[in-house]
Amino acid sequence: MRSTVPWFLLAATIFLASSASAETPDLPTCEPERSPRVDALSTIGLRAIGLPRNVETALAEAASLWNLAPCEASGRPRFVLGAPGERTLAVRWLGFAAAAEPGVCGSFTGKEIRIFGFARDRETGALARCGDRDRLVEVIAHELGHALGLRDQMQPACSGQIMGQLVRRPDGELVERTVHAEECVAVERRFLTVSERLAGLATGEGSIASVLRRPSSPYAP
Ligand SMILES: [Zn+2]
């Protein structure tokens, strides 16, 4: 008699095995995942939509965190506020709304950054105002990181990085996050430099133009 394993048990086993292996401690710690490489960009204009003054100030500080991040600056774009860049990214204030996901004050939709006025508590579901200016700077800088092509880094070793998860210290305060050199380097690796482009390096992901046309690309017009 042929014994068959139900497909869902097999799928669950594969899932468990893969998530267990993702937690092996000897993995390289905070190496961000590679995204498809895109053409060099010198500027990304940030278009503020409905931002109150304090949020606009936080946006300017968040942009500076990336602009002044400590690494080489080959193909990395600079954020410019209130001026058109080679590409434009909208930053929209939804001051009376809360994100669908609990504990979240900002999101990157693939086309624009949304900053929410409230966050839902993970346990009680109650609404709480999204943080003071320092926290807002962090939230916006995190979303700018997504717009630059970086993903969340959930490994505990990455706490403190701007793309790292939120971690509470024993006293209940959240660990501060800021742009780390590794993250800045990861962004640079994503952008082809002008000389690489001229040398005709292929990305293996199709033409650069097709990458930019993808609807999920933050740089799609
Ligand atoms: Zn994120």
pLDDT at 22 > cutoff 50: no
Task: Tell me the CA–centroid distance for residue 75 and ligand 1, in Å.
Answer: 23
Q: How confident is the model at residue 140 (pLDDT cuts 50, 70, 90)?
A: very high
Average pLDDT, the chain: 76
124 Cα–ligand 1 center, Å: 22
**Domain contains 131:** yes
Q: Of 149, 152, 158, 155, give the one whose Cα is nearest residue 66.
A: 149
pLDDT of residue 37: 72
pLDDT in tens, 152-173: 888 888 889 999 988 888 898 8
Q: How many whole angstroms from 14 Cα to the centroid of ligand 1?
A: 26
Ligand 1 centroid – CA 151 distance (Å): 6
Q: Token digits for 133?
A: 């200016």
Instruction: Supply 188's token pair.
Output: 């640079």
Residue 79 lies in a domain: yes
The residue length of the chain stands at 221
Contacts of 48 (CB under 8 A, 6+ apart): 56, 59, 81, 82, 91, 93
| Residues with Cβ–ion distance below 5 A, ligand 1 | 152
- Structure-block tokens of residue 71: 């690494």
Q: Is 8 among the domain residues?
A: no
Contact by Cβ (8 Å): 169, 177: no
Phi, psi of 76 (to 5 degrees): -80, 130
Residue 105 pLDDT grade (very low, low, confident, very high; cuts 50, 70, 90): very high
Alpha carbon of 217 to ligand 1 centroid (Å): 16
pLDDT computed for residue 74 by the predictor: 62
Higher pLDDT: 145 or 193? It is 145
User: How far is it, in rounded angstroms, from Cα 183 to Cα 162?
Assistant: 8
Residue 114 alpha carbon to ligand 1 centre in Å = 12
* 50 conformational bin, left if phi > 0, alpha if psi -120 to 50, beta if neither: left
d(CA 138, CA 143): 9
Q: pTM higher than 0.85, yes or no?
A: no
Contacts of 48-54 spanning 24+ positions with Cβ under 8 A: 48/81, 48/82, 48/91, 48/93, 49/90, 49/91, 49/92, 49/93, 50/92, 50/93, 50/95, 51/91, 51/93, 51/115, 52/93, 52/95, 54/133, 54/136
In a domain, 16, yes or no: no
Mean pLDDT, range 127-156, rounded to an integer: 89
Residue 130 lies in a domain: yes
Say how many Å lie between the CA of residue 206 and the centre of ligand 1: 27
Per-residue pLDDT at 126: 93
The verdict on residue 14 lying in a domain is no
Range of the domain at 101: 32-212
Q: How many domains does the chain have?
A: 1
Per-residue pLDDT tens digits for 53-75: 999 999 999 999 999 988 776 66
How far is Cα 186 from Cα 157, in angstroms, rounded to an integer? Answer: 17
How far does residue 12's CA lie from ligand 1's centre (Å)?
A: 26
- Please, which residues have CB within 8 angstroms of residue 210's CB and are 6 or more apart in sequence? none
Ligand 1 geometric centre to CA of 107 (Å): 7
113 part of a folded domain: yes
CATH code, domain with 99? 3.40.390.10
C-alpha 90 to ligand 1 mean position (Å): 17
- 11 versus 161: the higher-pLDDT residue is 161
d(CA 6, ligand 1 centre) in Å: 35
| Weakest mean pLDDT among 31-35, 104-108, 184-188, 200-204 | 200-204
